[in-house]
């Protein structure tokens, strides 16, 4: 293991000059200092270059490449990384000051694990905490497949392991390359964890979850489930839970159709959601669906 740099934090960005500067600032405020920030400008047309140029900290390394979407930008960033562990931030996420110190303590305590995960929260732009993801108990099925609660911002991968599992560079897979990457890994390695909350996802209108329509959502479902079916290790370990992956996309497609007052398609994909796992009918999501569905009928 290199003694020079323990962590490489890779930040792909595209036309988010106003946001990426806050992400970088939060990481430069870390109490732990042995890291590098690799900012990959994925062909921005705004003033991202000028914003990054104003940052003089030598730990920030800035690269510009032709636009090819987030998966390709992450892989490019990895090719430049010098750290022993890789951590991926999006350009709208924030780190708390002890994000990397908590990670370093875990690395030392667990003797350089292949992968590990820390706690994080989800906030509004105004700073209101909407949810805290800090109750992982080692149950990967519950936390990663059923509830999709593992995020790249608090997920660390040892560099030699990350080299074996690059992100998909399908530019249409904007709602799933994270999940696909994660599931390949958790099927092979023990997921070590520390539930200390060390970073934050920020809710805003530009997040990919907010801008994707049902067509994109369903395309991602098809590609991800197909890729997982081809992964013999995943299918051996977690194959019987594959329906949980589909469920998430069916429900998101349902919500998008409801948003556009298309009750027919919303009903179709809600039925797909509950038919793959009958227990879904008793979830809170069913109440959300029924409320929006009947609202559309009387609106």
For the stretch 54-82, pLDDT in tens is 999 999 999 999 999 999 999 999 999 99
Residues in the chain: 299
pLDDT of 212 over the 70 cut: yes
Mean of the pLDDT values across residues 256-269? 95
Q: The pTM is what?
A: 0.91
Helix, strand, coil in percent for the chain, rounding step 5: 50, 20, 30
pLDDT of residue 207: 58
Burial class of residue 27 in the structure, from the number of CB atoms within 10 Å of its CB (0-12 exposed, 13-18 middle, 19+ buried) = buried
For the stretch 96-140, pLDDT in tens is 999 999 999 999 999 999 999 999 999 998 899 999 999 999 999
125 with 138: CB under 8 angstroms?
no
Instruction: Of 170, 260, 248, give the one whose Cα is nearest residue 209.
Output: 248
Q: Which two tokens stand for residue 81?
A: 């990384």
15 with 45: CB under 8 angstroms?
yes
Q: Where are the domains of the chain?
A: 7-210, 212-298
Q: Domain spanning 7-210 has what CATH number?
A: 3.90.550.10
């Amino acid at each position: 293991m290199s003694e020079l740099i323990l962590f490489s934090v890779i930040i792909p960005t595209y036309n988010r000059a106003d946001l990426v500067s806050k992400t970088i600032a939060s990481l430069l405020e870390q109490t732990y200092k042995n890291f590098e920030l690799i900012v990959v400008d994925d062909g921005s047309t705004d003033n991202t270059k000028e914003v990054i140029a104003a940052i003089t900290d030598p730990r920030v390394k800035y690269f510009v490449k032709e636009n090819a979407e987030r998966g390709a930008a992450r892989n490019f960033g990895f090719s430049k990384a010098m750290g022993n562990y890789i951590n991926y931030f999006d350009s709208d996420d924030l780190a708390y000051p002890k994000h990397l110190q908590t990670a370093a303590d875990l690395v030392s305590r667990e003797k350089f694990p292949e992968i590990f995960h820390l706690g994080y929260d989800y906030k509004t732009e105004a700073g209101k905490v909407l949810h805290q993801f800090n109750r992982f108990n080692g149950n990967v099925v519950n936390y990663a497949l059923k509830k999709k609660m593992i995020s790249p911002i608090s997920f660390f991968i040892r560099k030699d392991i990350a080299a074996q599992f690059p992100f998909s560079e399908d530019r249409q897979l904007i709602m799933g390359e994270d999940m696909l990457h994660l599931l390949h890994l958790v099927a092979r390695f023990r997921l070590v964890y520390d539930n200390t909350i060390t970073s934050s996802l920020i809710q805003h209108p530009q997040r990919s979850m907010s801008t994707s329509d049902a067509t994109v959502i369903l395309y991602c479902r098809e590609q991800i489930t197909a890729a997982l079916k081809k992964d013999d290790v995943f299918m051996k370990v977690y194959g019987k839970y594959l329906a949980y992956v589909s469920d998430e996309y069916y429900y998101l497609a349902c919500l998008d159709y409801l948003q556009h007052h298309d009750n027919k398609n919303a009903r179709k994909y809600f039925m797909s959601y509950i038919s793959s796992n009958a227990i879904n009918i008793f979830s809170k999501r069913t109440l959300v669906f029924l409320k929006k569905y009947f609202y559309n009928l009387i609106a």
